[in-house]
Amino acid sequence: MNNMVELSIAKAINAGMRKAMQENEKVLVFGEDVARLGGVFRVTEGLLDEFGDKRIFNSPIAESGIVGTAIGLAMRGFRPVAEIQFDGFIYPAFNQIVSQLAKLTNRSEGFLQMPVVIRVPYGGGIGAVEHHSESPEAYFAHTAGLRVVSPSNPNDAYWMIQQAIQSPDPVLFFEPKRRYWQKGQVDLDQQPIGLHSAVTLKPGADVTIATYGPMVVTALQAAEIAAQEGINIEVIDIRSMSPIDFGHIAESVKKTGRLIVAHEAGTFVSISSEIAAKMAELCFYYLEAPVIRVGGFDVPYPAAKLEEIYLPDADRLMEAVDRVLAY
């Protein structure tokens, strides 16, 4: 009998970090307000009391400094877990992430490893002010040398954060902030699958919806609605945006012939663009309809009063389902 507990995503990430810190004293946690406060979302709550201020500490409000010093700490043999407080605050660190963190292993011909995890609460849906609701994952997935992942449920949150910390490569760990309080069963004994594997959450025969992070719940809702209409949707949680488990998605598309890719980010030059292009390559003769992308609009993330319209919901997914089935 496995050791199962019910945790929220936030608590599961906390538990995963705690375990990683217990297992390896080289794991350090830092960022803005992560120590006494436990982070603005309390994801690091309690770690200070357990590990002390040499293992978890507050950083000055300087994102480039947070990532730049994380790189230096990794060079010294630490495994830094740096928090960027909100998605829209990551851009001051963009240079350190893209020009340095992503390239140092390559530039040093393997002499330097960069086991750095950058945790980023991302996405909308919490009624926040500007710069607190963005989905910048495509910028990082585009950059060679980075790994980009996002859990969608507490069990994955618990295990994926540990796998990310164990990775010898830099990992952008995007946390679906509007789902932080979503609860679920966490198996504390059994590691599910690898960090970069996609997983089918609901099998189906008619249409595949592939998505990740905060939209996974939305896709499962759409699948329920569709079932009432006699449409059998398969839901895939992509989990990793770099690398992408194209094989898993292709296998599903070969079965259903119809694919919808969804995320909160705008669709132009996005994760869904990449998946659509790749499925055209891998599944050309199996596709019954063009791959349809469902995402936010290609506008700056709107003011909170409009975000319900901006964010794709189950109805928007159903509209796409109707479109792919019309072929």
Partner 1 sequence: MTSPDSEIPMVQLLTLEGEFSAAREYAEYAELIRELREADFLKFYRDMARIRRFDNEATALQRQGQMGLWVPAVGQEAAQIGSGYGVGPNDHIFPSYREHGVAITHGVDLMSIVKMYRGVNHGGWNPHETRFHLYAIVLGTQALHATGYAMGLNFEGRVGTGNPESDLAVITYFGDGATAEGDISESFLFAATHNTPQVFFCQNNQWAISSPVGTQTKVPLFKRGEGFGVPGIRVDGNDVLACYAVTKKHMDDARNGKGPTLIEAFTYRMGAHTTSDDPSKYRDSAEVEYWKARDPLIRFEKFLRKQGVGQEFFDEVEAAGDQLAAEVREATFAMADPELESMFDHVYSDPHPLVEEQKAWLQGYEESLGGHKPETPGDDSVNYGGTR
Interaction site with partner 1 (CB under 8 A): 28, 54, 59-60, 62, 64-65, 67-78, 80, 92, 95-96, 99-100, 103-114, 144-145, 147, 167-169, 242-243
Cis, peptide link before residue 243, omega less than 30° from 0 = yes
Instruction: Give yes or no for a contact between 117 and 82, defined as CB atoms under 8 angstroms apart.
Output: yes
Please state the closest distance from residue 98 (CB atom) to partner 1, in A: 10
CA distances for 236 relative to 200, 207, 260, angstroms:
4, 11, 10
The counts of H helices and E strands in the chain are 12, 14
CA distances for 45 relative to 37, 70, 74, 199, 219, angstroms:
7, 21, 24, 30, 31
Please state the closest distance from residue 184 (CB atom) to partner 1, in A: 28
DSSP of 248-264, one letter per residue? Answer: HHHHHHHHHS-EEEEEE
Instruction: Give yes or no for a contact between 165 and 79, defined as CB atoms under 8 angstroms apart.
Output: yes
Q: How far apart are CA 221 and CA 227, in angstroms?
A: 10
The nearer residue to partner 1, 65 or 302, going by C-beta atoms, is 65
Among residues 89, 32, 97, the alpha carbon closest in space to that of 60 is found at 32
Please state the closest distance from residue 58 (CB atom) to partner 1, in A: 10
Of 132, 196, 248, 263, the catalytic one is 132
Please state the closest distance from residue 175 (CB atom) to partner 1, in A: 22
Please state the closest distance from residue 212 (CB atom) to partner 1, in A: 17
The nearer residue to partner 1, 105 or 200, going by C-beta atoms, is 105
Structure tokens that stand for 253 in this block: 């598309």
The nearer residue to partner 1, 209 or 241, going by C-beta atoms, is 241
Q: How far apart are CA 310 and CA 169, in angstroms?
A: 34
The nearer residue to partner 1, 197 or 200, going by C-beta atoms, is 197
The nearer residue to partner 1, 15 or 102, going by C-beta atoms, is 102
Please state the closest distance from residue 324 (CB atom) to partner 1, in A: 27
The nearer residue to partner 1, 100 or 133, going by C-beta atoms, is 100
Please state the closest distance from residue 312 (CB atom) to partner 1, in A: 27
Q: Is 132 a catalytic residue?
A: yes
* H or E segment to which residue 224 belongs: helix 215-228
* H or E segment to which residue 218 belongs: helix 215-228
* H or E segment to which residue 157 belongs: helix 154-166
Helices 215-228 and 314-325 cross at an angle (nearest 10°) of: 60
Q: Is 31 left (phi over 0), alpha (psi -120 to 50) or beta?
A: left
The nearer residue to partner 1, 79 or 179, going by C-beta atoms, is 79
Within its chain, how far is the Cα of 222 from the centroid? 20
Active-site residue numbers? 132
